[in-house]
């Protein structure tokens, strides 16, 4: 199993969710987060004074999927969230040792 973590622009959330649903991905965890990549933050201006805002609002989407669909899921997230402009985000994939459904105690792929 793989944990797919995507940091994307907040407005892309619904498109990503739709794409994952289309692929049959059942579970998602979503959080509002802040951060920056290599382009750093953005600039705001108050009474002529510029302030750089280092941490830009993003959403973090996490889902655990079976190994064989992980690449497809990543492609779908990229497809759904890409604008081609700076700040589109990052996706990373990590191996997951096990997963447990709390209600039933099922483990592994059955619990996904």
Partner 1 sequence: MNAGDTAWVLVSAALVMVMTPGLAFFYGGMTRSKSVLNMLMMSTVCLAVVSVLWALYGYSWAFGNDVGGGLIGGGEFAGLADTVGAMVGVGSDSAPWPGTDALPAPAFVMFQLMFAVITPALISGAVADRTKFWGWTAFVVLWVTIVYFPVAHWVFAFDGFTGPDNVGGWIANTLKAEDFAGGTAVHINAGAAALALAIVLGKRRGWPREPMRPHNLPFVLLGMALLWFGWFGFNAGSALSAGDLAATAFTNTMLATATALIGWLLVEQFRDGHPTTLGAASGAVAGLVAITPACGFVQPVGALAIGLIAGAVCALAVGLKFRFGLDDSLDVVGVHLVGGIVGTLLIGFVGDNSVNSAAAGDNGLFYGGGLVQLGRQALAAGAVLLYSFVVALVLGYLITVTIGFRIDEENEATGIDETEHAETAYDFSSLGSRALAGASRPATPATREPVGESR
Chain residues binding partner 1 by CB under 8 A are 44-53
From the CB of 42, what's the least distance to partner 1, in Å?
Answer: 12
**Torsion angle in degrees (nearest 10) through CA of 68, 75, 23, 96:** 40
Nearer of residues 29 and 109 to partner 1, judged by Cβ: 29
From the CB of 94, what's the least distance to partner 1, in Å?
Answer: 25
CA 109 to CA 112: how far, in whole Å?
5
Task: Take residue 11 and report the two structure tokens written for it.
Answer: 């407005």
CA 31 to CA 42: how far, in whole Å?
21
From the CB of 47, what's the least distance to partner 1, in Å?
Answer: 5
Nearer of residues 49 and 102 to partner 1, judged by Cβ: 49
Nearer of residues 30 and 96 to partner 1, judged by Cβ: 30
From the CB of 55, what's the least distance to partner 1, in Å?
Answer: 11
Query: Are 5 and 92 contacting, i.e. CB atoms less than 8 angstroms apart?
Result: yes
Backbone angles phi, psi at 68, to 5 degrees: -70, -20
Nearer of residues 29 and 52 to partner 1, judged by Cβ: 52
């Amino acid at each position: 199993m793989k944990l797919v973590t995507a940091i994307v622009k907040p407005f892309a959330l619904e498109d990503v969710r739709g794409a994952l649903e289309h692929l049959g991905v059942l579970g998602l965890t979503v959080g509002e987060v802040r951060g920056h990549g290599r382009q750093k933050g953005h600039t705001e201006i108050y009474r002529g004074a510029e302030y750089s805002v280092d941490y830009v609002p993003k959403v973090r989407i996490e889902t655990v999927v079976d190994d064989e669909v992980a690449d497809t899921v990543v492609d779908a997230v990229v497809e759904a969230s890409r604008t081609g402009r700076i700040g589109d985000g990052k996706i990373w994939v990590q191996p997951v040792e096990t997963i447990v459904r709390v209600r039933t105690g099922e483990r592994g792929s059955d619990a996904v």
